[in-house]
Homo-oligomer: A and B are copies of this chain.
Amino acid sequence: MTCPVRQPVRMAIFSTPDHLPVVRAAVEKMCELLGFSSALAGRVMLSSDEALSNIIKHAYRGATDRPIDVEIAPVHDGGRDGIRITLRDWGAYVGREQMRSRDLDDVRPGGLGVHIMCEYMDQLDYQPAEGGGTLLTMVKNLPEKKEVTP
């Protein structure tokens, strides 16, 4: 019987949109290994992609050669299993307050990423990182386990 994954995978990428599909593939696979449904895996994948896109667009203002560290970690919090995605950049720190998701009734392009992450993830936390930049931590838990009849 295969065991659940326990150790984190780390990735070091550049702030280029070219690397986004590679991170998405890794996040999706980790979700699958942890037992996330395809629908839920899609939400985690989208949320981490939105966060990475924001780092590229805002923290690094479109520069494509800056570093981003990604950690994809299984978590076991209070009996529930889940996934934690940690993103570290070396751009300007902007607090969570500054990232208001806009009024959705006002239909216009942009301003949807933060809203998506808030809706789809269970935890979303922006902190100034030691040595500069931002540490973003996102957690998604698996739904409560149902009783398993062997």
Binding site for B on A (CB under 8 A): 3, 5-7, 9-14, 16, 18-19, 21-22, 24-26, 28-30, 32-33, 64-65, 72
- Cβ 8 A contact of A33, one of B3, B18, B64: B18
- Cβ 8 A contact of A9, one of B5, B22, B29, B32: B22
- Cβ 8 A contact of A10, one of B11, B25, B33, B72: B11
The count of identical subunits is 2
**Which residues of chain B come closer than 8 Å to A6, judged between CB atoms?**
16, 18
Give the residue name and chain of the B residue nearest to A64 (CB): B7
Rounded to whole Å, the gap between the CB of A122 and the closest CB of chain B is 22
- Cβ 8 A contact of A22, one of B13, B21, B64, B72: B72
Rounded to whole Å, the gap between the CB of A53 and the closest CB of chain B is 15
Asked if A9 and B13 sit within 8 Å, CB to CB, the answer is yes
- Considering the chains assembled together, what is the distance between the CA atoms of A111 and B9 in angstroms? 28
